[in-house]
């Protein structure tokens, strides 16, 4: 008998029929003799709806109250599943974040898990009760409800699996595994049998939202085997595990995209010591995370500076920068929130030259203009116009030999 953690995402619990489907899957695992902890998301679209409701009350909702509101989505689905399991004569209990002793810091809306007590979950499991936990939520040391950031139920699941030393953590979603690119936009994407924690960390950080990045960090740290699979089929999905010698070592192993960033440009900034600090410190102080930064070469003692921030922080950043531009004497500030970042990723890139040139040539052939470029040892990212995202992902996927029909084995 093992302990299996199963997490079901929004589409898997989108309505009562789907929650029934989840109940049946849970019961099958339970009847096979396993203990089961189920982590649930809110019904698909509910978190967005709650955010919309708050936005119609005020432009800047209080962060603590926002988390009280957002946590209700997961509270609903957990109660419904526990109710359904009990009506099927299975012992089941739902637990909210604080009842499952998920302790976080107090960064409302993006809280990090500090520890998981797990006492209550263990007591229930000892009695062979199916434990249903509301994902995405926890409680800070003052007892306030917190949420873990979008997609945070993945992290709840992996962290709980780690705390209870579960045998496996199954992430049930609306695709049947992790692919070489988002299968919803790249139909030739190939499903991977296995992916290493490190590669998945890169894919998640560059836009593959199939797993929240923090969940992959937890899985790597505590060595939790994660199985990403579909709640609508019986097919095996993708295992996220430690790197092993049997894994493919491709030059490029995946293509990702991210439409959640926006670009800000400061024109003709005086090129003097301390200017970058003046530009970026006020943004950092408000908790906004800057991603790419590009500074042009100096012309006549002035330079242009471009950087990206999350789309949600675009307006606020633009306001801050307008103020700073006036202070430091920059000529102009403008921005664009219709951009996307496409990236090619692969640990094999370390030993190959020419990846960048293939990427740039491929985009050029489609007349896609590259607005910004950033590279690391194992990835190259380009900012392009948002409307070309799907096209860029597809042509890059083909150019790097990843298309399903290119498979040789
Ligand atoms: P859930 O609600 O189950 O958590 P998400 O929408 O958060 O589901 O994540 C699943 C989605 O991730 C898929 O529908 C797919 O569009 C997207 N996705 C992005 N990149 C990938 C990838 N490389 N492999 C699989 N899915 C991906
Ligand atoms: N409901 C939350 C969201 O939509 C958390 C999750 O589904 O993982 O982001
Ligand atoms: Mg998700």
Average pLDDT over residues 260-272: 94
Residue 402 and residue 302: Cα distance in Å, rounded? 43
Q: What angle do CA 124, 129, 131 make, to 5 degrees?
A: 75
Average pLDDT over residues 286-296: 90
From the list 230, 218, 241, the residue with the least C-alpha distance to 160 is 218
Range name among 40-49, 102-111, 175-184, 397-406 with the lowest pLDDT average? 397-406
Q: Which of 43, 45, 73, 210 to mutate to test the pocket of ligand 2 (most atoms within 8 A of CB)?
A: 73
Residues with a CB atom less than 6 Å from ligand 2: 9-10, 41-42, 47, 73, 135-136, 150-154
pLDDT of residue 90: 98
* Fold exhibited by the domain 255-399: VC0802-like (3.30.2130)
pLDDT of residue 409: 43
Average pLDDT over residues 283-300: 88
Mean pLDDT over the full length of the chain: 94
Task: Find out whether the beta carbon of 178 lies less than 6 Å from any atom of ligand 1.
Answer: yes
Banded pLDDT at 299 (limits 50, 70, 90): confident
Given the DSSP bridges, would you call strands 35-40 and 113-116 parallel, antiparallel or unpaired? unpaired
Same fold, 3-174 and 255-399: no
Domain ranges in the chain are 3-174, 255-399
Banded pLDDT at 104 (limits 50, 70, 90): very high
CB 40, CB 7: distance < 8 Å = yes
Q: Which long-range contacts (CB under 8 A, 24 or more apart) does 211-214 make?
A: 211/151, 211/154, 211/171, 211/178, 211/240, 212/148, 212/149, 212/150, 212/151, 212/152, 212/153, 212/154, 212/155, 214/112, 214/148, 214/149, 214/152, 214/154, 214/155
Average pLDDT over residues 51-66: 96
Q: How far is the CA of 209 from the centre of ligand 1 (A)?
A: 5
Banded pLDDT at 323 (limits 50, 70, 90): very high
- CATH 3.40.1160.10 for domain 3-174: yes
pLDDT of residue 128: 98
Q: How far is the CA of 287 from the centre of ligand 3 (A)?
A: 23
Average pLDDT over residues 326-336: 94
Average pLDDT over residues 17-44: 98
pLDDT in tens, 341-362: 999 998 888 877 889 999 999 9
pLDDT of residue 251: 84
* Tokens read off for 65: 């109250």
Average pLDDT over residues 354-378: 94
pLDDT of residue 408: 46
Q: Which long-range contacts (CB under 8 A, 24 or more apart) does 197-205 make?
A: 197/240, 197/241, 197/242, 197/243, 198/243, 198/347, 199/243, 199/253, 199/254, 199/345, 199/346, 199/347, 200/240, 202/345, 202/378, 202/379, 203/178, 203/254, 203/256, 203/345
Q: How far is the CA of 181 from the centre of ligand 3 (A)?
A: 16
Q: How far is the CA of 282 from the centre of ligand 1 (A)?
A: 34
pLDDT in tens, 210-249: 999 999 999 999 999 999 999 999 999 999 999 877 777 7
% of the chain at pLDDT higher than 70? 99
* pLDDT > 90? residue 405: no
Taking the whole predicted model, whether its pTM rises above 0.85 is answered as yes
Q: Which of 176, 208, 209, 240 to mutate to test the pocket of ligand 1 (most atoms within 8 A of CB)?
A: 209
Which ligand has its closest atom nearest to the C-alpha of 174? 1
Burial of 327 (0-12, 13-18, 19+ CB in 10 A): exposed
């Amino acid at each position: 008998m093992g302990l299996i953690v199963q997490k079901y995402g929004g589409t898997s619990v989108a309505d009562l029929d789907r929650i029934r489907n989840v109940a049946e899957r849970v019961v099958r695992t339970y009847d096979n003799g396993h203990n089961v902890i189920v982590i649930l998301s809110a019904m698909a679209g509910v978190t967005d709806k709650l955010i919309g409701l708050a936005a119609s009350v005020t432009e800047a909702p209080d962060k603590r109250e926002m988390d009280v509101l957002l946590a209700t989505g997961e509270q609903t689905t957990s109660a419904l599943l526990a109710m359904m399991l009990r009506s099927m004569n299975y012992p089941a209990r739902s637990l909210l974040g604080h009842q499952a002793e998920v302790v976080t810091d107090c960064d409302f809306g993006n809280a990090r898990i500090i520890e998981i007590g797990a006492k209550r979950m263990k007591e229930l499991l000892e009695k062979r009760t199916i434990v249903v936990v509301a994902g995405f939520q926890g409680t800070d040391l003052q007892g306030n409800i917190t949420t873990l950031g979008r997609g945070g139920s993945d992290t709840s699941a992996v962290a709980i699996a780690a705390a209870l030393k579960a045998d496996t953590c199954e992430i049930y979603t609306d695709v049947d595994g992790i692919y070489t690119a988002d299968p919803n936009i790249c139909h030739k994407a190939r499903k991977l049998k296995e992916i290493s924690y490190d590669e998945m960390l890169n894919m998640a950080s560059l836009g593959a939202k199939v797993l929240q990045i923090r969940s992959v960090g937890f899985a790597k740290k505590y060595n939790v085997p994660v199985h990403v699979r579909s709640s609508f089929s019986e097919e095996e999905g993708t295992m996220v595990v430690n790197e092993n010698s049997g894994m493919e070592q491709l030059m490029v192993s995946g293509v990702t995209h991210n439409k959640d960033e926006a670009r800000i440009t400061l024109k003709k900034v005086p090129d003097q010591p301390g200017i970058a600090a003046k530009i970026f410190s006020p943004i950092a102080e408000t908790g906004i995370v800057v991603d790419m930064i590009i500074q042009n070469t100096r012309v006549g003692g002035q330079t242009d500076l471009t950087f990206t921030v999350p789309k949600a922080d675009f307006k606020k950043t633009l306001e801050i920068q307008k103020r700073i531009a006036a202070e430091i004497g920059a000529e102009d500030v403008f921005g664009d929130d219709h951009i996307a970042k496409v990236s090619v990723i692969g640990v094999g890139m370390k030993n190959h030259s020419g990846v960048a040139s293939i990427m740039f040539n491929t985009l050029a052939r489609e007349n896609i203009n590259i607005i910004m470029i950033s590279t690391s040892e194992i990835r190259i990212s380009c900012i392009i116009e948002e409307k070309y995202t799907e096209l860029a992902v597809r042509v890059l996927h083909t150019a790097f030999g990843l298309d399903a029909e290119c498979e040789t084995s």
